Amino acid sequence: MILQVAGIDYQKVPLALREYGAFTEEETRRALMMLQEQEGVFGAALLSTCNRTELYVHTEEEMQAKELFARMLDDAGVLEPAKGALLLALTVRRGDDVCRYLMEVACGMHSQIFGEDQIVTQVKRAWVETHEYGTADPVLERLFQSAVTAAKRVKTECRLTGSGTGAAQRMVEKLQQRGTWVGKTALVIGNGQMGRAAAEALVQAGMKVTMTVRHYKTREVVIPAGCQVIDYTERYAFLQQADVVVSATRSPHLTLEWDMLRPLLHKDHPVYFVDLAVPRDLPNELQEECSATYENMDTLGKTGPDGNQVEMLKAAQEILEEEAQEFRAWLLTRKFAPVVRGIADYAASDLVGRLEKSIRRLSDQPQELRDAVWTASAKTVASLLFHAQKELDSEQWKAMLEAMAKQEETI
């Protein structure tokens, strides 16, 4: 059995192609349910964000994650040539590399905005979905738990970036490069996590922010402080007074259609459009529209660690290595647990056999004494063998167990 991850991300795949491989909540559910039925797949998790789509699987050794990713694209209805281009850009990792990579992803080290906070929430969500759809297994469970734990440690012990770094803050930075926006009007389409983050960032920048919601009910929708609310159906009417329009939904469809949007745009009132969705919410024609400025997840730009973060990054890598080693030790223990039990059982049986005469002579209930000696000795041997793992490196421990198991077979 082996851990694998196959995926695409912004480093190899541009947004115009990446959005074909982005999965909605319903597509994620269907993909995981399909993978659950594949023979040789013990667990599966899908991480689909604006930066990446990655399939994490625990499978039989001979199974290829690339083939499973291709089946997932087929199930989502992705057609050629997009499917072929996505598979050509696919990156596959196997074995020990998977754990360390997911930890780095959860810390934001592989995000367009280095160290961004939102990714750890998305990793948690992918983890939760494995339980919702029945595709969790003990190895994937421990993998994602370790990644989230590592990300939390990095965040608290050696924060890589300033507070609240993410796409929403990057959007505000780019806006402010063009002047002041205090007192101006913003429309945010979408009330999910990204939409709320965008609204909060715009309020903090001093803008008057209005959000769209569908079927508004106070108990079901969270509205950030300082925001007004309109129904989603009113978005076109509100556009005529907006200076900034942000769309951030998980819908597979456009939130603004070009035929209806174009008549509302005027040169004397330029609008700044920001599309924080993958697949994109806004029409491609905005990129050519002279009366509008258009940004999306890729044009917001990539950021990396600055010179002041070198020591923090080094400390973060040390934390990740500690957590990765702990995961590898757990995985090794799990893998060799049957061998340890076999050695312990053999040792217990051997000891009881050697004490047989004494047991018969000293006890009027020999079977009870045999059972007590067998249980105690098996536990002691197993405890000693597992403790030895902490004192030896993994290869030494494996070699010791294999030698003992071989000796057991020859005696």
The tens-digit pLDDT sequence of the chain (411 residues) is 899 999 999 999 999 999 999 998 899 999 999 999 999 999 999 999 989 999 999 999 889 999 999 999 999 999 999 999 999 999 999 998 999 999 999 999 999 888 888 899 999 999 999 999 999 999 999 999 999 999 999 988 887 764 456 888 889 988 998 888 999 999 999 988 889 999 999 999 999 999 999 865 545 678 899 999 999 999 999 998 999 999 999 888 999 999 999 999 988 888 999 999 999 999 999 988 877 899 999 988 777 666 666 778 888 999 999 999 888 888 877 877 777 778 778 787 888 888 888 888 888 888 888 888 888 887 887 778 777 777 777 778 788 888 887 766 654
Contact by Cβ (8 Å): 102, 122: no
What pLDDT is attached to residue 165?
A: 63
Which one-letter DSSP state was computed for residue 134? Answer: T
Stretch (H or E) spanning 38: none
Give the predicted TM-score (pTM) of the model: 0.79
Give the integer Cα–Cα distance in Å for 228 and 195. Answer: 13
Contact by Cβ (8 Å): 121, 111: no
**Two structure tokens written together for 242:** 């907006």
Give the integer Cα–Cα distance in Å for 296 and 194. Answer: 13
What pLDDT is attached to residue 411?
A: 46
Give the integer Cα–Cα distance in Å for 310 and 331. Answer: 31
Contact by Cβ (8 Å): 41, 140: no
Class of residue 90 by CB neighbours under 10 A (exposed 0-12, middle 13-18, buried 19+):
buried
What pLDDT is attached to residue 220?
A: 62
Q: What angle do CA 380, 386, 391 make, to 5 degrees?
A: 120
The reply to whether 50 belongs to the active site is yes
What 302-307 contacts at long range (C-beta under 8 Å, 24+ apart), as own/partner pairs, is: 302/10, 302/112, 302/113, 303/112, 303/113, 303/114, 303/170, 304/114, 305/114, 305/115, 305/160
What pLDDT is attached to residue 251?
A: 85
Contact by Cβ (8 Å): 154, 107: yes
What pLDDT is attached to residue 163?
A: 44
Q: What angle do CA 398, 43, 341 make, to 5 degrees?
A: 30
